Structure 1
Amino acid sequence: MAQERVRFVGQPVAVVVAESKAEALEAGECLEIEYEEIPAVTDLQQAAVPDAPRLCDELPDNIGAAQTEGDAEEVEQAFAQAEHVTRIELVNNRVVGSPLEPRGLLCEAYPNTEKLILHSMHQSVTRLHSVLCAVFQLEPEQLQIIVRDIGGGFGTKVAVHPEDILVVYAAKKLKRPVKWTATRTEEFQASVHGRDQRNYAELAFDATGKILALRVHTLANTGAYLTNPALLIPLGLMSKVITSVYHIPVMYLDTKCVLTNTAPIGAYRGAGRPEGIYPMERLMDMAAREMGIDPVSLRERNMIRTESLPYTTLAGDVIDSG
């Protein structure tokens, strides 16, 4: 929940518990919250400039994490020797999962027992269980989580959201069952979002259309907080697959994770893999047009050969068949 400062639209600021939904909504209308407007930044590029509004004092440049992979000098030499260079700037826009059934929870707590039973539609029940046990200092056997029909997720329900903790807290405190279901607006605003990157990508080719080097600079929006998925997606998962099925001798990746006044980023349909394949395949299509080569033929020239298997990618993954 917000503590003194609200960092994005959709961040919880208060909890109302009542006997019915109607009573809770009516009581919520009685809350009086005073807001003082302060500078904010929602644009990814604007958040990364030196004089942008800060989201937290510990990160004056809004850069939550940065990572480079590969040899920059070696890649620069390959580009200098290239017969053709293709460059592209891409915006991978922000999306929202918005599953058919919004997030919902029912936590059972009773006066005569310390055990909690949580009914959830979470996509990662073991992660939710470990987080809640850590937050409330519970032994594993004190918390049972029951997941039946998820009702769609698309990755949105992989994240542990504030409401997961707040519902359990309310049930423990009141020693009564507490239920919460997100409205469609809450699902849209308060759940984790996906994607939201800007890529500056380049491919170097020799005279025969063979790839010499790949270079990608990425700004990845984390939203208002540095959640585990917001960092893992661009720094771990995306970089693992960005070379796709092609033999690329050298690459250089420069990735910065940027805080903005938007909903936190989480998993969404592939979580990092589409973010990696997207710039690579767009580069291949553009390069084919620029060089006057059939796009299928260009891909065939650069695909990993069967005789090269098992093949270790620049990210360290091993392709053993295909």
Structure 2
Amino acid sequence: MTRFIADHRAEITGLWIKRVATIPEIANLPPAALVDHMPEFLFELGRWVDGEREARERAYLFLAQGHALQRLGHGVDLGSILVEYQLLREVLLTEILANVRVDEVGIVGVNRALDLAISEAVKRFAIHREEIRDRFVSILGHDLRNPLMALTLAAETILATPNCTQAAHPRLAAAIRRGGERMSRMIGDLVDFALGQLGGGIPAVPRACDMGEICREAVDELHATHPGREVALEKQGDLRGSFDRDRVMQVISNLVANALLHGHDPIVTRASESDDRQFLITEVSNAGPPIPAEMLVGIFDPFRRGAKAKRGGLGLGLYIVQQITLAHGASCTVDSNERATTFRIRWPRAPLDEVPRP
């Protein structure tokens, strides 16, 4: 039985994918994220059932925990993860009983292995959710304190000065406006975070628009606030499609702002169409030192902040980028080396409900 699981783990994974693709929260995950490490999980499950429990349990449980954290990062709730395991149990046992002569001990072993994986997944999911909540409260309290203090001091100064024509007042008013804008951005990010983690994902309402125009608006807006920086846009091909204009604008703005904060010039945004014309490709690249390998793992996790992001943000920008791309059925990847750091998104030109499915 364990040899059958090992030799047919790819086929079993394929059958399982067809079943879990019917779960709404999981259906729109990119193919690689959907599969996760299921073939490796099945291999370790077989080794565990075969009696190598003490030697293989650590690797087996690590894969189960990792799957739970990956799904949490994509905004999948615990109920959907449990359904995934239920469907895996059905697929695995059906294939074993149809192809292998197996006794009750073997079937019990498979069920015990799956129950152990489910227990570890639930435990790790719950622990990480608590960690996110604690980090959220800590960062929120810290990062809102500074703009609130600036607002309070500026307002107190104005109130204490009867003559409102003093030259300092425009500067104080500008400080109040900047503080309000910072808090507004934080609140907006927190709303999107709550939608991504608790509300089934950030909603997107696609409408006919031009990806090139969206990128132009985002780049121009940020270039105006960073006039000394080298920020450019390159466009090629037919960039018309169906997208949620405001959400895509948010994605491009977040990526360019991230490049301005962490990277070096030149910062280039590119928009083009794929060879088959079914997808539009956006890239935001910047020069500068590569992102360390340990930071690339989980770079889209919430509350991840680089060394230069000590003020002004909650570390939700890239998480929101990922959630909005998922809402469009798109995929976002990052490549970072000595030449450049590039965030690349592959957007379906047509809305998901208009794409023919097999």
Higher-RCO chain (CA-CA 8 Å, sequence separation at least 6): 1
TM-score (norm 1): 0.18
Which protein is richer in helix relative to its size?
2
Compute the TM-score of the two structures, normalised by the length of structure 2.
0.17
